[in-house]
Amino acid sequence: MTSILREKAGEEVPLIAGMEGPASLASRLLGTYNFLTWIIRRPETVRECLKVTGSICSEYAGILSDAGADAVCIVDGIAGPDMLDPRQFDSLIKPKYERFCRSGKGIKLIHVCGNSTPILEILSKCGFQGISIEEKVTDLRAAKKLVGRKTSLIGNLSSSGIILNGTCEEIKEEAQKCLRDGIDILAPGCGIAPKTPTRNIKALVEARDEYYHLNYASGGHGPFRFAQED
Ligand SMILES: [Zn+2]
């Protein structure tokens, strides 16, 4: 599928392939209840399982890159602070993310559902080049400070709210606010709802272009490039 999309998208459009992360994969293999309770009662079992799922994720990301994906984005909802204590995240999940980011070629991104503010700094230190956040991260200026200059902040208009139900004007206004407050790459905050009108997605692209022309057209790079290494 990735190679078909690569062909259809052409070279100008970045192709970002999504996949489950090591924690979500482990929770599916063990069962969500077991995963969350064993983290406390049987951490060694979870650790062993994460070793396996971590390797599988790296291997699969390599396959997606070889098929033409410019970036691979892991979605690891169960590892977010809404589900997991950030201290357990630090000891169990963080090493897996570090290894994942070092593996293979291509850009590595992560999407975290809910309010990911408590783990944004750790995630940026794991080596992700971009972190996709939901609208539940409300203080974007603080979020951008936490991830630093080297990590792009991606998001964060509500997929189930304004992008699904808003007018084009409302979407553009909200998009401008996101870009002003620290979003580097404008995007929906989570998966796009199936009934979202195409014009609303187009409004998002137009808002990005308008912001770019207003702020960057006379030089420098636009707000939708990945942050560069120093
Ligand atoms: Zn989400």
Distance 218 CA to ligand 1 centre (A): 35
- Res. 230 pLDDT band, cuts 50 70 90: very low
In this prediction, residue 129 carries a pLDDT of: 95
Distance 49 CA to ligand 1 centre (A): 24
Distance 151 CA to ligand 1 centre (A): 18
Distance 75 CA to ligand 1 centre (A): 8
In this prediction, residue 46 carries a pLDDT of: 95
d(CA 57, CA 109): 13
d(CA 127, CA 219): 28
Distance 71 CA to ligand 1 centre (A): 18
Residues 124-178 pLDDT 10s: 999 999 999 999 999 999 999 999 999 999 999 999 999 999 999 999 999 999 9
Distances (CA, A) of 13 to 7, 10, 93: 11, 6, 31
In this prediction, residue 10 carries a pLDDT of: 83
Rg (CA), the chain: 18
Domain map (residue ranges) of the chain? 1-113
DSSP alpha helix (H) spans, 11-103: 22-30, 32-41, 43-66, 86-88, 94-102
Question: Which residue is associated with the tokens 């589900």?
Answer: 83
Spatial neighbors of 163 by CB under 8 A, at least 6 apart, are: 157, 171, 188, 192, 193, 196, 200, 201, 204
Residues 38-89 pLDDT 10s: 999 999 999 999 999 999 999 999 999 999 999 999 999 888 888 888 888 8
**Coil/strand/helix, residue 166:** coil
Distance 127 CA to ligand 1 centre (A): 20
Distance 18 CA to ligand 1 centre (A): 12
Residues 178-222 pLDDT 10s: 999 999 999 999 999 999 999 999 999 999 999 988 887 765 455
Distance 217 CA to ligand 1 centre (A): 32
The H helix count followed by the E strand count for the chain is 11, 6
- Percent of the chain exceeding pLDDT 70 equals 94
Distance 136 CA to ligand 1 centre (A): 10
Question: Which residue is associated with the tokens 């200059």?
Answer: 149
